[in-house]
Amino acid sequence: MTVLVFGRTGQVATELRALLPAARFVGRDEADLQNPQACAAIITQTRPSAVINAAAYTAVDKAESDEDTATLVNGAAPAAMAAAAAALGVPMVQISTDYVFDGAGTMPFSPDHPTGPLGAYGRSKLLGEEGVRAASGPHAILRTSWVFSAHGANFLKTMLRLGAERDALTVVDDQIGGPTPARAIAEACVTIANALINDPTLTGTYHISGAPDASWADFASEIMAQARLDCVISGIPTRDYPTPATRPANSRLDCRSLDRFGLSRPDWRAAIGPMIRELGAPS
């Protein structure tokens, strides 16, 4: 079985490399995500057993002033990939995001809940979802939230750095979601891709996020505790930490559909310690 993965150095792609050493990983030096047809051509030439798209434009704030690029990378490229995969009859797993929702309310968003992105990044990812569905091939759209790992730039690594430098930090406490280990997302991608190869009727949209739901301040406090850093975390409202892009206040995701694959929500707290040790920080 040949799995073709778009992405090589991102958080999920790095974890996929550990899980799928025999897969073909395509980085941006080989596949220009701003050239959707070039991405599609790689699928046609490779003729893989499955495609996993772990590549994306993830600069949420920058997307507000660079929406055309975000739309090409997150919208047009996945659509072209899905069309090429559908033509071969092979499944595609597309990673998406909680940002396709409007963040209203306090209930977890189900996979079939109406979308309503608040900004350019969410709009671009929603276009990618729509393009994958429109290709009509076997596919899974896997929405996730608050990704963290020992690789790349993410909240965990930022908190470890700042916590070692400062005695106190203020962190937003009115945005609620599920911090999600990149390894859990990668494992879900592999499991779902294999399931789709055997049963294309599993095509659909699914959610994965870490449990339990928490605020960014809760997440930061747990990081400091497990890293044994004497940095006091104080919660602040979103209005006191303005950003170019509006963040969803509610990023809770209903992940019960993962049951179809024998998967469940990962405990993000249990993932922090091993990542701290991998980074060489005390724990």
Question: Do the bridges between strand 3-6 and strand 24-26 make them parallel or antiparallel, or are there none, so unpaired?
Answer: parallel
Q: Does 10 map to a domain? A: yes
Residue 248 has pLDDT above 70, yes or no: yes
**Number of Cβ atoms within 10 Å of the Cβ of 13:** 25
3-state secondary structure of 135: coil
Which residues are marked as active site? 121
The domain in which residue 78 lies consists of 3-154+180-210+252-268
pLDDT in tens, 148-183: 999 999 999 999 999 999 999 999 999 999 999 999
Q: Does 232 map to a domain? A: no
Locate tokens 């091939």: which residue? 137
Radius of gyration of the chain (CA): 18
pLDDT in tens, 262-282: 999 999 999 999 999 999 865
Q: Does 233 map to a domain? A: no
Backbone angles phi, psi at 155, to 5 degrees: -60, -40
- In the chain, the number of structural domains is 1
Q: Does 219 map to a domain? A: no
**Which amino acid, residue 233?**
I
Q: What is the DSSP code (8-state) at residue 244?
A: S
pLDDT in tens, 82-140: 999 999 999 999 999 999 999 999 999 999 999 999 999 999 999 999 999 999 999 99
Q: Does 76 map to a domain? A: yes
Looking at every residue in the chain, the average pLDDT score rounds to: 96
Dist. CA 88–CA 85, nearest whole Å: 5
**Number of Cβ atoms within 10 Å of the Cβ of 71:** 20
| Nearest residue to 174 (alpha-carbon basis) of 122, 247, 116 | 247
pLDDT in tens, 222-234: 999 999 999 999 9
Q: Does 146 map to a domain? A: yes
Identify the band that residue 242 occupies on the pLDDT scale cut at 50, 70 and 90.
Answer: very high
Dist. CA 175–CA 3, nearest whole Å: 36
Q: What was the pLDDT predicted at 282?
A: 52
Q: Does 243 map to a domain? A: no
Please list, in sequence order, all residues whose beta carbon lies within 8 angstroms of the beta carbon of residue 263, skipping any fewer than 6 positions away: 187, 188, 191, 208
Dist. CA 93–CA 23, nearest whole Å: 14
- What CATH number is given to the structural domain containing 18? 3.40.50.720
Q: Does 192 map to a domain? A: yes
